[in-house]
Every structure is written in structure tokens, then in C-alpha cells.
Amino acid sequence: MYVKGIRKLFQFSKYVLKKISLNSNIAQAFLRHDNRFRLVCPTCGVTTTLNRIVPQTARDLPLGTALYVVLTYEALQGYCVQCGEYHTLHPSGINVHARATDRLMAFVSQLCRYMPLIHAAEIVGISAATAYRWDKKWLTSHLPEPDLDDLRILLIDEKSVRKRHGYVILVMNGENGELLHMAEGKKKQSLQSFFDKLTKKQKARIIAVAIDRAGAYRAVVTEQLPHADIVFDKFHLIMNYNEVIDQVRRQEWRKANEEDKKVIKGQRYNLFRNPENRTEKQTLSLKALLKINENLNHVYVLKEAFRHLWTYTYRACAEKYLLKWVSWANESKIEQLMKFAKSLLRSKDEILNYCRHQITTGRLESFNNTVSRIIHRACGVKNLDYLFLKLRQESINGNLQK
């Protein structure tokens, strides 16, 4: 049949649309080689002799209500006398191994960004396994390589992606949010594999690295980037302090009488919450708790004081305040609090480096929500290489190379 302008939908280099067969569910387009173009050897460019013509098919994008669109074309096999080899000509834009057009694979990959594989497969009429292969192949060939040349700030953190403590380490560019590296585990080797990719010149440009207080990360960064400042993430430090509050709360509950236990019970997250995030009812409940328990009152007051540390911009002032806070913690005579204060003194330089660089792993922590969403949509992680591709796609806002 002839439809005006439909040839523009099937423009393939060196091929022309011969005819098209349409119904409400299926479309079949027939392509033939454009005789205005010679058959040449792709290696040496010499004109080759035609050996045989082999009919081939490939899936294409849906056309209207016809979700199943098939291209039938002539694959021309030629023999190059100069190279002594056979070469087969296919229309450009067709992936011979996938038996599909590049634009169909790109469409499936885009669908897979917003929905589970099985749903994307249903829309196009392919299997979920095929949708997975096409998506992975498209992302592998079109996602740009991580930009390692202009790195100045690194954010490093781990994320649980599997049951039973299945962790991966994530490395992100702290300035633009690009995910640079992902490796299984949370030991030295996992982070070392990232630095092995960097040249000496690339390492020299890095001025600061934000991490939590994990000893493995600190040792690798110190070894690989001796000139860079390590900044201990404030959110991890506050989380560590919340663990101290919880230890004291459990200890006070064990010592309390039955009446006081009723007041302490269920107050865990109330002690963690910042004042601006509490309801009036939660505030009254917390006041009742702090009124009857001196130790919990002490650790809670110091929690609010601890948050104030990151309001300083001058290192000398921040250091003076940190030492004052440590003295308050020691005066409390609360064992868990004194132990935490001692650990802060050991990490004093890394904590105070925040004044100079004003960086945290907050951007990476928020990206963890994206990680969780992708894993949930995929019903778990089966292939870490594929997961890294999906995460990189999101970290660069899905902007693929053309």
C-alpha cells in the first residue's frame, strides 16, 4: 500500500522502502538496497562483487496501534578480492545480533528507566530477558565514561543492596553529583579499585574527600591522596551520637522503676528528633522524660549543642567550641558519652576540615533513595554491573551520548 510521507519513517542509509503492509496490530516494511550505491568493502573501501542476497528481519518501533513492526530487508554479501574476505551489508541503524533497530533498543531502554523490565517488555511485545539485554547493551554503549579529569571533591559512602549485609561502596563527584564508581563490599579493596583508575595528575587535583569514620576508607584515602583533606561527614557523626543516646536510654530503662519505665518506653525517636520536627504532643512527652531522668536530659542537651559545631566557619572558633563540648561531656561522667567525646578528639582534624570545605555526604545519602528505588523496581539485585549502569544513568540525569 502507499501512504504519503511514510518513507520518512523508514530512512536507512543505502536502503529505500519498497512497500509496507499494515493492519491494526502488525506492520511489515520491506526494504531494498538502493542501486545508486556501490557495494564496497568496509575494510579497504574497494568495490566488491555481489556474492548473494540473504533476506533478513529486524524488529522496529511500534507504528500507531501496530505494536509489532518488522523490517524485512536485503542483506548483501560481497567478496573483496583485495582483502580476500566476505562482507555483508546491513542497513545502518540495525543491530544484527539483537535483530532490532537501534531506535527500538533506545525506546526500550528509556521505558526501563521508569518501569520494571517486565512492564517495558509487555509494551513492546518482547520477553523481560530481552528487555534486560537490550537495556544493558544500550547503556553500555551510550553512557559516557566517568569524568575523572576535573575531580576536586569526592563523596564516599556504602549502601546495602542485598540481604545479609550485601554492601557496595559508592564514589560520587561532590560538585556535580556524577556517580563515578561502585564496587561490591566495604573494605579497602573496594575503594582501592577506584583509585587504581586514576592517574597521578588526576589524584593531584583532588582537594577534599568526605567520608564517614570507617577506618578502612580513611586509610586508603590517606595513602592515595596524602595532600587532600579528609572531612568526616557531619550526618554520620550525628548518627553516631544518636547511638550514644540510645545506649544511655536502654541503660536508664534497665535501672528505672516500673513507673519511670512507662515514661522512657517509646521515646527513642523522640530523643533523636530535632525540635523543629516534633509535634506539640511529642514535645510534651519529651519534657516529661527529661524531667525525671538527669542522664537522658544531659545527653539530649549536649545533642543540641553538638549540632551547633557545624555553624562555625572559622576553624579556630570551631576547635575552641569542640574542646568545650568535650569538657561538658566529660563532666557528665556518663561512660558512653565520655567514650564518644574521646573519639572526637582523635578525629579532631577531620571534623574541623568542614570549616574549610563545607562538604558532607548528604548528596550521596539522598542518592541512596534512588538506589533503593531502582532495586525495589527490579525486585532485587541480580547483576551489579547492570545496577551501576542504571545508577550512572540517574546520576547524570539520563543524558546519554548521541
Q: What is the pLDDT of residue 160?
A: 86
315 Cβ contact partners less than 8 Å away, ≥ 6 residues apart = 352, 355, 356
Q: Residue 33: in which H helix or E strand, if any?
A: strand 26-33
Q: What is the pLDDT along the chain (402 residues), one digit of tens a residue?
A: 455 677 888 888 889 898 888 887 889 999 999 888 888 888 888 888 888 898 999 999 988 888 889 999 989 888 888 888 888 888 889 998 899 999 999 999 999 999 999 999 998 989 999 999 999 999 999 999 999 998 999 999 988 887 766 889 999 999 999 999 999 887 888 899 999 999 999 999 999 999 988 767 888 999 999 999 999 999 999 999 999 999 999 998 888 888 888 888 888 888 888 888 888 888 888 888 888 889 899 999 999 999 999 999 999 999 999 999 999 999 999 999 999 999 999 999 999 999 999 999 989 988 988 898 988 888 777 789 999 999 999 998 754 443
Three-state secondary structure string covering 59-110: EECCECCECEEEEEEEEEEEEECCCCEEEEECCCCEECCCCEEHHHHHHHHH
Which residues, 6 or more positions from 367, have their beta carbon under 8 angstroms from its beta carbon?
Answer: 170, 172, 177, 179, 391, 394, 395
60-84 b/e with 16+ CB inside 10 Å = b?
A: bbbbeeeeebbbbbbbbebbbeeee
pLDDT of residue 401: 46
pLDDT at 400: 46
* Long-range pairs for 300-307: beta carbons < 8 A, 24 or more residues apart: 300/245, 300/271, 302/328, 302/329, 302/332, 302/337, 303/238, 303/241, 303/242, 303/245, 303/271, 304/275, 306/237, 306/238, 306/241, 307/238, 307/274
Question: Where do we find the cell 518501569?
Answer: 115
Cβ-based neighbours of 272, under 8 Å, separated by 6 or more: 242, 245
User: How many residues are recorded in the chain?
Assistant: 402
Q: What are the backbone dihedrals phi and psi of residue 311, each rounded to the nearest 5 degrees, phi first?
A: -90, -10
Burial of 172 (0-12, 13-18, 19+ CB in 10 A): buried
- Rg, the chain, Cα only: 31
The DSSP H or E segment spanning 31 is strand 26-33
**H/E element holding 200?**
helix 200-205
Which residue type, as a one-letter code, is found at position 308?
A: H
35 by DSSP, 3-state: which?
coil
For residue 399, the model assigns a pLDDT of: 46
Is beta strand 68-80 parallel, antiparallel or unpaired with respect to 26-33? parallel
pLDDT of residue 4: 62
Reported in sequence order, the residue ranges of 124-206 that DSSP labels E, i.e. its strands, are 153-162, 166-173, 179-184
At 133, phi and psi to the nearest 5? -65, -45
Angle at the Cα of 97 from the Cα atoms of 93 and 102, rounded to 5 degrees: 25
Strand order from edge to edge, sheet including 166-173: 179-184, 166-173, 153-162, 208-211, 229-232
Burial of 293 (C-beta count, 10 Å sphere; 0-12/13-18/19+):
buried
Helix/strand/coil for 223:
helix
Burial of 384 (0-12, 13-18, 19+ CB in 10 A): middle
